[in-house]
Amino acid sequence: MRTLDDLLGEGVSGRRVLVRADLNVPLDGETITDDGRIRASLPTLRRLTEGGARVVVTAHLGRPKGEPDPKYSLRPVAARLAELLGGRVELASDVVGHSAKSTVEGLGDGEVALLENIRFDPRETSKVETERGEFARELVSLVGEGGAFVSDGFGVVHRKQASVYDVASLLPAYAGGLVLAEVEVLRRLTGTPDRPFVVVLGGAKVSDKLAVIESLLPRVDRLLVGGGMCYTFMAAEGLGIGDSLLEADMIDTCKRLLAEAGDKIMLPADVVMADDFSADASTQTVLAAQMRENWKGLDIGPITVERYADALAEAGTVFWNGPMGVFELAPFAEGTRGVAQAIVDSEAFSVVGGGDSAAAVRALGLPEDRFSHISTGGGASLEFLEGKELPGIAVLERG
């Protein structure tokens, strides 16, 4: 696929460049609580502006229902992006309307404009190709003749959407630095990773991770399970799990996976239980076989952390996706902290698979630079590891 280096080699001074970024950050009102994705977009944007490009950024925030919604405006994102870039970022008040056109027309060399939430237009996510195509042509018209497209939102490349897929068929298209780095890292995991290859999986549901578990099991040396999904595995082993999260319809699947995996799958030996899902609940750390009725398992316990840390200390490659417990609540954060610290302390090539795992790294104050790579796209990372074709990557590879 053509890359940002190729585009810069052609020259971008005075050219309008449409960039699909992933700026889907968590908000508390209008306060950004984690700007990791914005910061991840900076290298590509800076290289373009330093080259004199007139940069037009498209991005989404949340899940608006195909129409403008002030709750999902990119206004806070534009303000933070301007702070980090150290220059003005003009936010258009619409996507492809009068404001978008006038904002783009007003760009000078090395300046940046951000279009309003791309998902305010229902055609962005339409399943009808002609509708997406029409919207894509309107986006392309904003950059005009001589324009180019840079795909730099890895978190959305698994979506066949107008600003991700269709525009890449209408403009000279290039992989941004972020997308290129993500693909290279994930290809390393799916190729011949250094061994032992240890995968840490958390999150709420087995069903959400089933495809990646089935894909990875033949290739990994250890699969360490935590989060809400571990209780369905524990139930499959015949253990009582109290009032913990359970997918009853996945118990037989978990039994099959455990039988197929042999000793590859490691489950919690102890858990932190609580009588309520709250920060001030009564808590108790118990062995996995002694979970109390009507109590909920909300984190892995210290024995489990130690066992998982031992496995991680020997690893040559680590992939981590999903927290070990409800890390947002202080009484249930230590399992995630302990496992993450063990990854940091290891000598392994380590990849954090985006989503809640990346958020946990920042929320718990762990050193980001001690992980080899922190992905910006949880869902995209998992689909890549499952072996699925990612539309936003496939279209770039077709050139």
Which residues are annotated as catalytic? 37, 205, 355, 379
Residue 221 in marked binding region: no
37 is in an annotated binding site: yes
Phi-psi region of 144 (alpha: psi -120 to 50; beta: other; left: phi over 0): left
Is 119 a known ligand-binding residue? yes
Is residue 282 a known part of a binding site?
A: no
Token pair recorded at residue 88: 């003005």
On whether the CB atoms of residues 305 and 335 are closer than 8 A, the answer is: yes
Q: Any binding-site annotation on 160?
A: no
Whether residue 22 is annotated as binding a ligand: the answer is yes
For 356, residues 6+ apart whose C-beta sits below 8 A from its C-beta are 202, 203, 322, 323, 327, 378
60 has binding-site annotation: yes
- What SS3 class is residue 317? strand
Q: Is 222 annotated as ligand-binding?
A: no
Q: Which of 77, 4, 82, 84 is nearest to 39 (CA)?
A: 84
Helices vs strands, H then E, count in the chain: 14, 17
Structure tokens at 392: 């936003």
Q: Is 266 left (phi over 0), alpha (psi -120 to 50) or beta?
A: beta
Euclidean distance between CA atoms 6 and 276, whole angstroms: 55
Is the separation of the CB atoms in 47 and 175 below 8 Å?
A: no
Residue 2 in marked binding region: no
Has 328 been labeled as part of a binding site? yes
Which residues, other chains included, contact 366 with Cβ-Cβ below 8 Å and sequence gap of 6+? 337, 340, 341, 344, 360
On whether 368 is known to bind a ligand per the annotation, the reply is no
- Ligand-binding annotation for 106, yes or no, is no
What token pair was written down for 17? 């460049």
Could you tell me whether strands 173-175 and 31-32 are parallel, antiparallel, or unpaired per DSSP bridges?
unpaired
Burial 173-182 (b: 16+ CB within 10 A, else e): bbbbbbbbbb
The CA distance from 330 to 328, in Å, is 6
Please indicate if the annotation marks 357 as binding a ligand. yes
| Side-chain half-sphere exposure of 330, counting CA atoms within 13 A | 4
Q: Which two tokens stand for residue 361?
A: 């790294």
- Classified as helix, coil or strand, 142 is helix
Residue 182 annotated as binding site: no
How are beta strands 296-300 and 265-266 bridged, if at all? Answer: unpaired
CA–CA separation, 358 vs 150, rounded Å? Answer: 24
Would you say 355 is a known binding-site residue? Answer: yes
Q: Which residues are annotated as a binding site?
A: 22-24, 37, 60-63, 119, 159, 209, 297, 328, 354-357
Q: Which residues are annotated as a binding site for ATP?
A: 209, 297, 328, 354-357
Q: Which residues are annotated as a binding site for substrate?
A: 22-24, 37, 60-63, 119, 159
Q: Which residues are annotated as a binding site for (2R)-3-phosphoglycerate?
A: 37, 119, 159
